[in-house]
Structure 1
């Protein structure tokens, strides 16, 4: 860095020497000198111009003149201005001379509306109209004068204050505003209380530090009974020249406070109550209060100061009348107390306020005592009821004990009557287990007590209530309660809860119950009983076989039907209970419902009805055939039945050597389907196609009856529409079983007749 400076110095000295030697031969012109030095443009003097607001004129008035600090006058230049006050609002304030650069102002200006103007300045070439320099600007500042008086945000204020307000600040803030330039004397404000009516207590005004707000203050006390409204005039004045001011009015409403104690209308009162009387109003006391009615300053609050150490009385305020209501809540015993003196006091809901020596005293420091009154309460004697030494007596015994046991002997006292004249009554004995001696009150059992009875509660307690009644006028009654605690015995056998069960799989749960409590009841032990069925244990087992329920399991697949299973149940003490469970094994439907147990109407459809009608018709046909039984016939005669089906039908006749009995039993036909793939109706229709079933049946019946009359032979035929279906032959199977069977492989039915023979 030092070397560089030295080099520059040497170069500068050499240049100076060279110029000094050549001064006579070379002379710089002005342009060369300017280029050698730093280039600079012409400079226009632009500064902030100040104008006084509200200047009365005359107008137009010269504000300033624009000029060049290098060239006194430039004749070929033209001046122009624009901006606020010229081409922007407010218009028509400023103009400029085009040739001389003089700026004129044309009207007074309000600083509070337009405190400053920003104006742009241009110099144009007259010949070309082009700017000869860059756009410049200058400001016009408006100088403030004290032309605005301070004003209050709320020139009329209303406020309410309690009469008991402690001296100091009032809840009335005041804010004054001045539109003149801030931080000048023109905007500096002083506030004071100009006047107040009435004059006491003294009201002042104080500036709140750190804010522009002032607040009213007062010294002394307000008195609602004397003055209820204050009017305070406050002035705000600035420090300008001349000073300007304005006022605000504060209307101050005084609200009543508790400045008067409630006073009893009477200092002593008398009342009376019946002995042991309770929950009854016995006295009303009244007070006077000069404060505003139905306010916390007026509403009374009563209290009992003395004479209620046992809590026999209470006192409350009637919200409508402001009276004190004295009530006895616990009866007084005449034999202990005949007269009670009670001291009661009264205050207001709001604490008492007292203003002394021009200053308000805090309610906590008041020495004024509440007003008091005395009440003498007389107790009137009444017939006291007999009293049991124990209102509730506990007796303990075991259930099922023998009758005639004395449960209870009462001990009764009566301060007003002879104990020997007291009579006793049994009031509550829901199960009828006891009786009472009307003279002595002794309670004795007349039935065995059962702990499992519905009249015994969950705590094993049976309740008995008795009354003791004296001979007073009117008679008085005392009540005694006997709680009999029953101990449990193993007097109940375990048994099955549900005896009819449905088995859908291979297991069913059998719930049991034992009314005894542990250790006499369940969990129980289960086993299969002995009903003489040796196959019982091969069909069933119990899993689990102990607990509160048993699991009955089938060891093999059982056909649908009802099964009887005997059970043996032992409780914890070995008490044996025997029971039988009916188990239905079935095809279940939605849970544990058997399909067969569903309502018939829900499964009987049109097809079932048709089958039912067909069965009835078949039954009628069988009855008709039974009428064809022959009494005493010997031969079986061929009956032309038009057996035309799938081939020729042949009736093989057998002769019998032995004669038939005089009267043969009616044949019974048993129809057994031998070809399940064919319908019965189809087999019938193949015999004689096209002939209605009823018509064929009638024809067959007539022909058979005719044959029977002419030949006297018994005809046995299969049911159908006039013939047998199939192409087999009938042959006689023997007299022993009387069976007539179709021999053809296509035969559909077997026909069996008991105790009949086939004869010609």
Structure 2
């Protein structure tokens, strides 16, 4: 088989071509080192050449075979896109039009050689590469940048928070595609803004100095990206920077002294309004005032709030205080802004330091007029302990009262819900007027009866002080056990037992568990008590009883043997599901009777009976 090989001289070997061209060149170099039959003159094609087209590039010929006619054919993208052609007889290769290297940096061309006598391919498919030489025909261009951005006037010098990206599409790693980005112009010129590299395509904007909103509210920054080619090419973009006003002016009080008089032990709203002036932008945190106490308000009696509409300070008294005498209170109040203060001075950003820039302040004088203080009970709450049902007339409590403004006062009873006590107007002695019942609804769950007394001085106007007296009542055994329900139902068709609930209003140890007894010994013939001791008893019939009503006298004792005597009415009947007597069933037994006779019979059924005497219903 015949072997065809090509030799291509490359003018700038450092270029990075596509993988197809690179692989083809490696194979071609290997073939050159073995033997040669086909030789192609060097093809070196510069992009965007301004020449007359078609433009001769090279010629293909054979240095071994003589006296044989050949025809040539080339294929590939360079041919289909109309960039290259070949003279089929002479083997001359021509360029048909300019080539943009940024679109095609290399063409891989397939060629075939035919024997003109037989029209057969002399060799298998062969190829060569056309490498396009770059020229500097593209300037670097900005591809990522903000049209407009905003910075705070108080921004600390350094990074502005803005990145700019540019790109040059000429051949990589050459002077044609490497570039610089610089700030070529800015208005106004201060503070100085620079572009600093992050990587080969990206810079960030930074500055030295400080911004002053009053001097410049907007900056126009012109950036240039310029490559290193010959000749160098460049492009520019303009970025707008807006400055946001911050707190560069400290608020100042329009008035420096404030005085007033108020009465002690009272709360006051809007005593003063402190107007301030601030030259920063209204309704921003750099303009809004924030007031604070420098001295005089250690007890938190006073408060200053900011009116959100007028920016004034609203001074109020928010805590009561009792002054022994008329007293003058001296306050010192300062003002600052919500946003921290900064200022650009001689190109340097200055912060509030308490020396060069310190908050403005005012002096406030408040005269607290001493009023008629009310009498004070010592203590203001008193506890008294008393046994319930004690005989009235005994002194329960005598108060102690102190009044810094008066030595003459009288006493009165403010609240005595059960009318159980009286008070001496001069001494304040509290005496019982009635027996006190611990079980009364006026006594709370803790067995306490509460009253309120007052002491009134002779001032103008009179002042009144109060004392809460809690009378703790100790229980006695003054209640007897009693039935919760005096009438119960015993369901004869279900069981022979009914439980007897009992209550005693006394507290332990004067209540249950209870002991149960029959008051009539005859009842023991028909009934028994089981249980006969506990919080409730149980009544059990010893044998089936005729339906009707039975009266059973009972005796019940608490833990201290205090007895209660009551009669329990027990109705014996057939019951429905809810343990209620089935009246319809009872009526059905008397269906053979006349209506009048039936009602008489039922009335008799519900009359109390002695089971020893009545054997049938």
Distance 2:218 2:149 in 1: 10
The change in CA–CA distance for 1:250 and 1:590 in structure 2 (over 3 A counts) is: farther
Provide the residue aligned with 2:379 in structure 1: 390
Q: Is the 8 A contact 2:145 2:165 kept in 1?
A: no
- Give the CA deviation at 1:476: 1.9
Distance 1:399 1:228 in 2: 87
Q: Is the 8 A contact 1:156 1:249 kept in 2?
A: no
Q: Deviations over 1:639-691 (max 9, x none)?
A: xxxxxxxxxxxxxxxxxxxxxxxxxxxxxxxxxxxxxxxxxxxxxxxxxxxxx
Q: TM-score when scaled to structure 1?
A: 0.66
The unaligned stretches of length 5 or more in structure 2 are: 9-20, 22-42, 598-617
Provide the residue aligned with 1:542 in structure 2: 530
Q: Deviations over 1:722-742 (max 9, x none)?
A: xxxxxxxxxxxxxxxxxxxxx
Aligned residue pairs: how many?
561
Provide the residue aligned with 2:37 in structure 1: none
- Give the CA deviation at 1:183: 2.0
User: 2:222 aligns to what SS in structure 1?
Assistant: strand
Q: Does 1:183 align with 2:144?
A: no
Provide the residue aligned with 1:84 in structure 2: 77
RMSD over equivalenced CA pairs, Å: 3.6
Provide the residue aligned with 2:471 in structure 1: 484
- Give the CA deviation at 1:274: 0.9
User: 1:153 aligns to what SS in structure 2?
Assistant: strand
Distance 1:502 1:95 in 2: 125
Q: Is the 8 A contact 2:523 2:552 kept in 1?
A: no
Q: Deviations over 1:90-133 (max 9, x none)?
A: x3233344445544332222222333444444456768777665
Match for 1:233 among 202, 222, 226? 222
Provide the residue aligned with 2:3 in structure 1: 42
Q: Does 1:440 align with 2:427?
A: yes
Q: How does 1:360-399 map to 2 (within 5 A)?
A: 360-363=349-352, 368-399=357-388
Q: Does 1:343 align with 2:337?
A: no
Provide the residue aligned with 1:515 in structure 2: 505
- Give the CA deviation at 1:369: 2.5
Provide the residue aligned with 2:608 in structure 1: none
Q: Is the 8 A contact 2:287 2:337 kept in 1?
A: yes
- Give the CA deviation at 1:195: 1.0
The change in CA–CA distance for 1:237 and 1:114 in structure 2 (over 3 A counts) is: same
Q: Is the 8 A contact 1:42 1:68 kept in 2?
A: no
The change in CA–CA distance for 1:444 and 1:331 in structure 2 (over 3 A counts) is: same
Which structure has more helix as a fraction of its residues? 1
Provide the residue aligned with 1:281 in structure 2: 270
Provide the residue aligned with 2:147 in structure 1: 157
User: 1:534 aligns to what SS in structure 2?
Assistant: helix
- Give the CA deviation at 1:579: 4.8
Q: How does 1:89-128 map to 2 (within 5 A)?
A: 91-123=81-113
Provide the residue aligned with 1:59 in structure 2: 53
- Give the CA deviation at 1:190: 0.4
Match for 1:467 among 442, 451, 454? 454
Distance 2:236 2:484 in 1: 99
Q: TM-score when scaled to structure 2?
A: 0.80
Q: Is the 8 A contact 1:185 1:239 kept in 2?
A: yes
Distance 1:586 1:103 in 2: 131
Which structure has more strand as a fraction of its residues? 2
The unaligned stretches of length 5 or more in structure 1 are: 1-39, 623-760
Q: Deviations over 1:695-718 (max 9, x none)?
A: xxxxxxxxxxxxxxxxxxxxxxxx
Distance 2:555 2:129 in 1: 121
The change in CA–CA distance for 1:197 and 1:465 in structure 2 (over 3 A counts) is: same
Match for 1:213 among 193, 196, 202? 202
Distance 2:103 2:542 in 1: 112
The change in CA–CA distance for 1:59 and 1:434 in structure 2 (over 3 A counts) is: same
Q: Which has the higher contact order (CA 8 A, sep 6+)?
A: 2
Distance 2:553 2:106 in 1: 118
The change in CA–CA distance for 1:97 and 1:418 in structure 2 (over 3 A counts) is: same
The change in CA–CA distance for 1:539 and 1:64 in structure 2 (over 3 A counts) is: farther
Q: Deviations over 1:408-461 (max 9, x none)?
A: 222223333341xx2322111111111222333222111222222222222222
Distance 2:118 2:508 in 1: 127
Q: Is the 8 A contact 1:42 1:69 kept in 2?
A: no
Q: Is the 8 A contact 1:562 1:582 kept in 2?
A: yes
Provide the residue aligned with 1:451 in structure 2: 438
My pick for the range that moved more, 381-390 or 232-241, is 381-390
- Give the CA deviation at 1:269: 0.9
